Amino acid sequence: QVQLVESGGGLVQPGGSLRLSCAASGFTSTINVMGWYRQAPGKQRDSQRELVATVTSGGVTNYSDSVKGRFTISRDNAKNTVYLQMNSLKPEDTAVYYCNARTKFFRTYWGEGTLVTASS
């Protein structure tokens, strides 16, 4: 089992910045890819979570086109923690952000989510 705990969400004005963190515990040595997904207000089903960014254990990153150039994902393998630095936030970035971990045994784990609101 892998447990994921997110932190760092909150309210920010458009154009501002936030940094999300996700700490993993449990069988962390089995984790291959970590990432962030988001679910906008009004979208309830798990299938409507949008990929934001992912990073492999080797540091290879992938971003959605909507955040490329504004968000940066990073990973500290020693601390079993993944970060999402979000700059130039827009109102359309408002969502619950979920941490995700995929293991080498094809198991997927989710955190509880943290709300990010970009609004004046």
Q: What are the tens digits of pLDDT across the range 57-116? A: 999 999 999 999 999 999 998 999 999 999 999 999 999 999 999 999 999 999 999 999
The pLDDT value recorded for residue 44 is: 66
The pLDDT value recorded for residue 28 is: 86
**Concatenated DSSP letters of the chain:** -EEEEEE--EEE-TT--EEEEEEEEESGGGEEEEEEEEE-TT--SGGGPEEEEEEETT--EEE-TTTTTTEEEEEETTTTEEEEEE-S--GGG-EEEEEEEEETTS-EEE---EEEEE--
Chain segment 15-66, per-residue pLDDT in tens: 999 999 999 999 888 899 999 999 998 766 656 889 999 999 999 999 999 9
The pLDDT value recorded for residue 98 is: 96
The pLDDT value recorded for residue 42 is: 78
